[in-house]
Amino acid sequence: MAKQAPPQGIYVPAVVYFDSNEEIDTEGYKAHILRLARGGVTGILVQGSNGEAQHLSHLERFTAIGITRKTLDENGFKDTLVIAGTGAQSTRETITLCEEAQEAGASHALVLTPSTWAPAMSKANILTFHRTVADKSPIPIMIYNFPTVTAGQNLTSEVIAELAKHPNIVGTKLSCGDIGKAHRLCTTFPPSEFAVFPGKSDVMLPGLLCGSAGIIGALVNLAPKLHKKLYDAYRAGRVDEAKQIQEIFSHADAAVGTLGGIAGLKRAISEHFGYGVPYVRGPLLLVSKDALQSPAGDWIAKLVELEKAA
C-alpha cells in the first residue's frame, strides 16, 4: 500500500479559543477556522503546541477536532485536511489519542517524543516508541520534533530518516528550525512518501529552496493568505517576490515570540481581526492590549496590513 503523506502546501497549527472560565469558545474557534480556510490553507493542525494540546482533556481534544472537521465540511472546505496532535507521555495514551483523532475526523496524527523521562529516551527507545505508535495508529503519523516542549530532545536527521522508512510514518514537522536537517531529509525522501515541513515561518523560503513540502507554522494563524502567496510565488519561479514576503515573515515570527507566543498570537488576532478573546489556560498568562504598542507589535501590524491586502 502506498504511503499517505499529506499533500504539499500551507498548514496552520491553529490556536484554540477559551472564554473567561477557560472553557472552549466554540464560536470564536469556528470563526478562526473559517478565516484560515478562506485564506487558502491546505490543512489545519489541531492540538499542536499552539493549540495548547497539553492543557486539554481527551474529551476536549476530541471535541476540538470534531468542531474543526464539521466547520470545514459545512462551509465547502471538505478537501482541507485536519491533522491532530496526539502527543502524550506514554505509548499507550498516544495510541489511544491517535484512535480518537481518527474517530473525530483527522486524517493524520502529529506525534511528539515523550519527555517526562527524557534521560531514559535513548535512540533505541525513541525508535521503539514511534514505531510502536505507527504500528497501532489507524491513521498515518508524522514525527513532531520540537525540543522546546520535549525537555530539549532534538531528533537528528539520521533518527528521523530511520523512522521515515516505516510504512505508516509519512512526514515530520521540524520546529527546531534546522534547515540543514530539513535539507538532508528532503534529499533522501520524495515528499509523496515523507513530507518535510519546517515548523517556523522565518525559514519558510529557505525550506522551500531545500525541497520542503511547505510550512506548518504558527504565524499562519495571522497571515494564511500571505503564506500561500509566498508559496505560490516560489512555485511559479517568482523568487524575488517570495523573498520580499519572507523578509516580513522573518521579523514577524520573532515578534510573536517577543509578544508571548500563543498568548501574543491570540491577542494580535483579536485586535486585528475582531473575533475571539485572547484567554489562555494557566500557567500561560494573558497578554495585554498594550503589548502591541511596541516594536514587536509594529511588525505584526505590518504583517496584518499585507495580509488584508493579499
pLDDT tens over the chain, length 310 residues: 678 999 999 999 999 999 999 999 999 999 999 999 999 999 999 999 899 998 999 999 999 999 999 999 999 999 999 999 999 999 999 999 999 999 999 999 999 999 998 888 999 999 999 999 999 999 999 999 988 888 889 999 999 999 999 999 999 999 999 999 999 999 999 999 999 999 999 999 999 999 999 999 999 999 999 999 999 999 999 999 999 999 999 999 999 999 999 999 999 999 999 999 899 999 999 999 999 999 999 999 999 999 999 9
Instruction: Give the list of residues 6+ apart from residue 240 with CB closer than 8 angstroms, or none.
Output: none
Residue 86 lies inside a defined structural domain of this protein = yes
Expressed as residue numbers, the domain containing 31 is 9-238
Binding site for pyruvate, by residue number, is 216
Residue-level pLDDT at 1? 60
70 located within any domain: yes
Task: Sort 165 into a burial class: Cβ within 10 Å, 0-12 / 13-18 / 19+.
Answer: exposed
Mapped onto helix, strand or coil, the DSSP state of residue 233 is: helix
Say what the alpha-carbon torsion angle 67, 68, 69, 73 is, to the nearest 10 degrees: 100
Indicate whether 306 belongs to any domain. Answer: no
Looking at residue 18, what is its pLDDT? Answer: 95
- pTM, two decimals, is 0.96
Do the Cβ atoms of 42 and 214 come closer than 8 Å?
yes
User: DSSP letter at 118?
Assistant: G
283: its cell numbers: 500557567
The residues annotated as belonging to the active site are 144, 173
Residue 41: inside a domain: yes
CA dist., res. 221 & res. 269, Å (int): 8
Task: Look up the CATH number of the domain holding residue 98.
Answer: 3.20.20.70
300 belongs to a structural domain:
no
Q: Which of 172, 225, 167, 223 is nearest to 199 (CA)?
A: 172
The gap from C-alpha 155 to its chain's centroid, in whole angstroms, comes to 18
Strands of 9-13's sheet in order across: 195-198, 169-174, 141-145, 108-112, 81-85, 43-46, 9-13, 214-216
pLDDT at 259: 94
Task: Write the CA distances from 182 to 144, 179, 194, 211, 297, integer angstroms.
Answer: 13, 5, 12, 8, 30
Say if 211 falls within a structural domain: yes
Any domain includes 148: yes
- Give residues with Cβ within 8 angstroms of 253, minimum separation 6: 200, 201, 202, 217, 218, 219
* Structural domain count, the chain: 1
Binding site: which residues? 216
132-143 burial, b for 16+ CB within 10 Å, e for fewer? ebbebbebbbbb
Mode of pairing for the β-strands spanning 214-216 and 9-13: parallel
